[in-house]
Amino acid sequence: EAGVAQSPRYKIIEKRQSVAFWCNPISGHATLYWYQQILGQGPKLLIQFQNNGVVDDSQLPKDRFSAERLKGVDSTLKIQPAKLEDSAVYLCASSQGYDQPQHFGDGTRLSIL
Amino acid sequence: QKEVEQNSGPLSVPEGAIASLNCTYSDRGSQSFFWYRQYSGKSPELIMFIYSNGDKEDGRFTAQLNKASQYVSLLIRDSQPSDSATYLCAVFDQTGANNLFFGTGTRLTVIP
């Protein structure tokens, strides 16, 4: 079974630029999550999708972050414009259902200069 | 705000010893608990989950849950240097947000 795929693995941009991350979940997993993990902290949920609908985006900074999952499969997360404090690892995870174990992709390490 | 507390460590144990990792949580209504292992520079990897009070064993790993005390632990028997990693406790919130809340993790070092 293929795992959660994410790209790119690394990204370096300057502040105020925009960036996008892509995620393809495990086949058949209806629930998809984007997390932000700052160094030394646990992952923090940004947004949760159930199929192509948003379940929870209460911690997503909506003035600069956006995410979509148009066909209920892969998803993109965008930051525009980026701030220095957005430097983190962005993790995508998926699960069969909202209360089922989540499986993580390798993440995208974002550095803001 | 849901709280999941872990001792950040580092926790050092000699090879072959039992490593004990602890986690407390604030939401009494929480029902599902997960342990993830995260190697430096890597993504979290699920190693155990537990839903019922008591112990759950899987190989060298044992998860222990005490809902009355709002406490969940992970025991690693016969610790190996390859177990050196950060262990993240995660608690599923079913009373509101229906998502996982993670602790900050405990860094474990197994000394050969």
Could you give the count of Cα atoms lying within 13 Å of A35 in the half-sphere of its Cβ? 24
Cβ neighbors of A75 (< 8 A, separation 6 or more) are: A22, A23, A25, A32, A34, A49, A67, A68, A69, A92
Please give the angle made by the CA atoms of B102, A86 and A17, to the nearest 5 degrees. 150
Closest chain A C-alpha to B79 CA, distance in angstroms? 23
pLDDT, position A26: 96
- In this predicted structure, the answer to whether residue B12 has a pLDDT above a threshold of 80 is yes
pLDDT, position A75: 97
Q: What is the mean pLDDT of chain B?
A: 92
pLDDT, position A2: 83
- Judge: A99–B94 Cβ closer than 8 Å, yes or no: yes
Which of B29-33, B54-58, B77-81 shows the lowest mean pLDDT across its residues? B29-33
**Could you say which of B32, B99, B102 has the minimum Cβ distance to residue A56?**
B99
What is the DSSP annotation of B72-109?
EEEEESS--GGG-EEEEEEEEETTTT-EEEE---EEEE
- Judge: A104–B88 Cβ closer than 8 Å, yes or no: no
A55-99 tens-digit pLDDT: 999 999 999 999 999 888 999 999 999 999 999 999 999 999 888
What burial letters (b/e) apply to B8-40, b meaning 16+ CB within 10 Å? eeebebeeeeebebbbbbebeebebbbbbbbee
Residues of chain B above pLDDT 70, percent: 96
A9-53 tens-digit pLDDT: 999 999 999 999 999 999 999 999 999 999 989 999 999 999 889
B29-55 tens-digit pLDDT: 888 999 999 999 899 999 999 998 999
- In this predicted structure, the answer to whether residue B98 has a pLDDT above a threshold of 90 is no
User: Chain A interface residues facing chain B, Cβ-Cβ under 8 Å?
Assistant: 33, 40-45, 48, 55-56, 58, 89, 91, 98-99, 101-107
pLDDT, position A25: 96
- In this predicted structure, the answer to whether residue A8 has a pLDDT above a threshold of 70 is yes
- Judge: A42–B103 Cβ closer than 8 Å, yes or no: yes
pLDDT, position B1: 63
Q: Evaluate the CA torsion angle B65, B69, B73, B77 in order and state its sign.
A: negative
Q: What is the mean pLDDT of residues A4-13?
A: 96
Q: Evaluate the CA torsion angle B59, B61, B66, B70 in order and state its sign.
A: negative
pLDDT, position A84: 96
pLDDT, position B96: 63
Residue B13, strand partner residues: B110
Closest chain A C-alpha to B51 CA, distance in angstroms? 11
